[in-house]
Amino acid sequence: MSPRRLLLIVNPQARHGETGKLVPVIEKLLARAEHDTALTTHVGHATEIAAAAEGYDVVVAVGGDGTVHEVLNGLMRRPPDDRPALGVIPTGSGNDTRRTLGIPDDVTDASLALISGVTRRFDIGVCNGIYFNNSFAAGLDARVTAKAVEYKATTRRSGLWLYLTALLHVLFNELYPHHVRVSWDGAEPVAHDLLIIAATIGPTYGGGFKIAPDAVPDDGLLEVCRIDPLSLPQALMRLPFAIAGAHTGMRPVHMARHRSLTIDSDEPMPAQIDGEVLIDRRFEVEILPAGVECVVPR
């Protein structure tokens, strides 16, 4: 295998600033690999750096899912014939993307995989012109994501515990359904009352919450989970099953696979893309099969 030229895009603030402390360690692990390192300073900076990454074989997101999301969107701005592969060293709070790609959680193992690993193509999604590497969700999940952002700053929690804390807050304070119209794969819209609608490439989000346990990241399809409105007791009763991915056969839960979906709402509706919150009345979501090349362990 010919040596790879790497560009590391590091979010030093990831995981409450712990990632910045890991930079010397990662530099030492990759000392024998040709690489450059760029540290981000503001939101969107990783996208800017990745979009300008000319002459590299691999652009590596060092941080959490938000960093990977930014790097992916930067890479997708590059011409297809001059687009580096995506690498990940997971040092963030949730790290769901590394689960989807099969990248080790350990920083040392993930770093070494950049040198000894292989390239493989994975699906990506796009919603309203924004690319996502792992998940889109609208409804209650987006309110949970927004609260998790707040709790991340105020409590310094991370991973599944952070998401669970935010989820319990939303269940007790903001549990209400959304009235939407959904078009599946370009068909006529169908009216739905729903609590959550999630379209994922990987099986988890929220730091390990198994919303779509049977998702396959390279099958050319979105794994869609739609959950009907629930009362607070009903939601609390089902929560442990949903965490473990054992909710898919429950009556209020509808699982399906689609290439695209369009969601229309009369009222502005919250959504999240790879943990980034947005609010709109219309979401056009589709899969791009084999849309990105990634470096993964052998």
Question: What integer is the mean pLDDT of 25-45?
Answer: 96
Higher pLDDT, 32 or 93: 32
- Does the pLDDT value for residue 170 go beyond 70? yes
Query: How confident is residue 146, by pLDDT bands cut at 50, 70 and 90?
Result: confident
Q: What is the rounded CA–CA span in Å between residue 159 and residue 169?
A: 16
Domain 6-116 has CATH 3.40.50.10330: yes
Q: Is the pLDDT of residue 259 over 50?
A: yes
β-sheet bridge partners, residue 270: 279
pLDDT at 36: 96
**Alpha-carbon gap, residue 10 to 7, rounded angstroms:** 10
3-state DSSP call for residue 273?
strand
Lowest mean pLDDT among 194-203, 236-245, 253-262: 236-245
Q: What is the mean pLDDT of residues 147-167?
A: 82
What is d(CA 166, CA 19) in angstroms, rounded to the nearest whole number? 23
Work out the mean pLDDT of the chain and round it to a whole number.
94
- Which of residues 113 and 15 earns the better pLDDT score? 113
pLDDT on residue 154: 83
Residue 61 pLDDT greater than 80, yes or no: yes
Phi-psi group of 129: left, alpha or beta (phi > 0 → left; psi -120 to 50 → alpha; rest → beta): left
pLDDT of residue 2: 52
The rounded distance, in Å, linking the Cα atoms of 96 and 61 is 13
Residue 1 scores a pLDDT above 60: no
Nearest-CA neighbor of 146 among 196, 192, 97, 206? 206
**DSSP per residue over 247-267, as a string?**
-TTSTTEEEEEESEEEEEEEE
Gap between the Cα atoms of 130 and 108, Å rounded:
31
**Class (C level, CATH) for 135-291:** mainly beta
Q: Is the dihedral of CA 6, 12, 14, 19 positive or negative?
A: positive
Q: Which carries the bigger pLDDT value, residue 148 or residue 220?
A: 220
Beta-carbon count within 10 A of 116 CB: 10
Query: For residues 142 and 167, what is the distance between their CA atoms, to the nearest angstrom?
Result: 10
What are the CA-CA distances from residue 148 to residues 22, 25, 145, 161, 222 (Å)?
24, 29, 5, 10, 25
The confidence band for 152, taking pLDDT boundaries of 50, 70 and 90, is confident
- Please give the angle made by the CA atoms of 189, 194 and 68, to the nearest 5 degrees: 90
CB 264 within 8 A of CB 119: no
What are the residue ranges spanned by the domains of the chain? 6-116, 135-291
- Which of 148-177 are b and which e, b meaning 16 or more Cβ less than 10 Å from the residue's Cβ? bbebbeeeebbbbebbbbbbebbbeeebeb
Which residue in the block uniquely carries the two structure tokens 């969700």? 137
Instruction: Supply the pTM of this predicted model.
Output: 0.93
Cα(297)–Cα(221) distance, integer angstroms: 23
What is the pLDDT, as a whole number, of residue 163?
84
Tell me how far apart the alpha carbons of residues 36 and 46 are, in angstroms, rounded to a whole number: 14
